[in-house]
Structure 1
Amino acid sequence: MKSCLIVDDSKVIRMVAKKILQELQFETLEAEDGQVALDACLKALPTAVLLDWNMPVMNGLEFLQRLRKLPGGDQVIVVFCTTENDIDHIQEAIAHGANEYIMKPFDSEILQAKFQQVGLLDA
């Protein structure tokens, strides 16, 4: 089964994403910041990461940079999910290895479409 690590400091966002992703047949794990997410990835790499940008302890960009350096970390599909919507942020995320980028708020349709675009779901 495909797995997705949901990384967001908002419990509500994690809860919404978890519900949607489980409906899409993903096993889900949650982390409230980048450090907790990195610790989880050191134990077992997920298939995908839904990643917030602004978090305490370690932000999304720092997490992404560290994830990509792990053995196999370059294979994990990373979808940034954030309120940061200016083109500079989007370009920076992609430059550091993000596969896709979605804006909050999101819904099931948006998440499903992005996961199809990156090849995690059949069209």
Structure 2
Amino acid sequence: MAKILVVDDSNAVRDEVAGFLRANGMDVQTAVDGKDGLARLKADPAIRLIISDVNMPNMDGLTMVEKVRSDLANRSVNVVMLTTESSPAMKDRGRAAGVKGWIVKPFKGAAALEGLKKLAQ
């Protein structure tokens, strides 16, 4: 099965999302910020879906996605943002970078599960 990378600077959110996905049979890795997320993606080409927060130290989620597309030239990995940000400008920047979905926190796993499974294939 394809792997999912959960990127969030909050231990609680990271653990909640990763735990929910693992409990539903998914292979999940975690990262603490965008910089860590990029490193993990470089190290593991089997990652097919990134679920990322926007606001994080060291490197925010949208910058990470832009670097995934530009620096890594990776267009095959799907990205969903999980964030409190809901401004049209942020969403536009995400769409321009190739973000496939935008989930406003709190995470409601059951509602998102089927869509996430499809994106992780």
Letter in 1 for 2:100: N
Deviation at residue 68 of structure 1 after TM alignment: 1.2
Correspondence 1:75 to 2:66: no
Q: Map of 1:92-111 to 2, 5 A cutoff?
A: 92-111=93-112
1:23 to partner: Cα distance = 2.3
- Show CA shifts across 1:26-84 (max 9, x none): 1111101111111111111311000110000010011001111314x210010011000
Deviation at 1:24, TM superposition (A): 2.6
**Quick one: distance in 2 between partners of 1:110 and 1:79?**
14
User: Structure 1 CA distance, aligned partners of 2:53 and 2:34?
Assistant: 9
Corresponding residue number in structure 2 for 1:28: 28
Please identify runs of 4+ aligned residues in structure 1 that moved more than 4 A. Answer: none
Matches within 5 A, 1:1-123: 1-45=1-45, 46-69=47-70, 70-71=72-73, 73-115=74-116, 119-120=118-119
| Contact kept in structure 2, 1:3 and 1:27, CA below 8 Å | yes
Give the Cα–Cα distance (whole angstroms) in 2 for the partners of residues 41 and 34 of structure 1.
10
Change in CA separation of 1:2 and 1:121 when aligned onto 2, cut-off 3 Å: closer
Query: RMSD value over aligned CA atoms?
Result: 1.7
Number of corresponding residues:
119
Secondary structure at 1:13's aligned position in 2? helix
Aligned residue for 1:30, secondary structure, equals strand
TM-score, normalised via structure 2 length: 0.90
Cα separation, 2, equivalents of 1:98 and 1:12: 23
Q: In 2, are the aligned partners of 1:2 and 1:25 still within 8 Å (CA)?
A: no
Give the gaps of 5 or more residues in structure 2: none
Q: Structure 2: how far apart are the matches of 1:121 and 1:32? A: 20
Q: CA separation in 2, counterparts of 1:2 and 1:20? A: 16
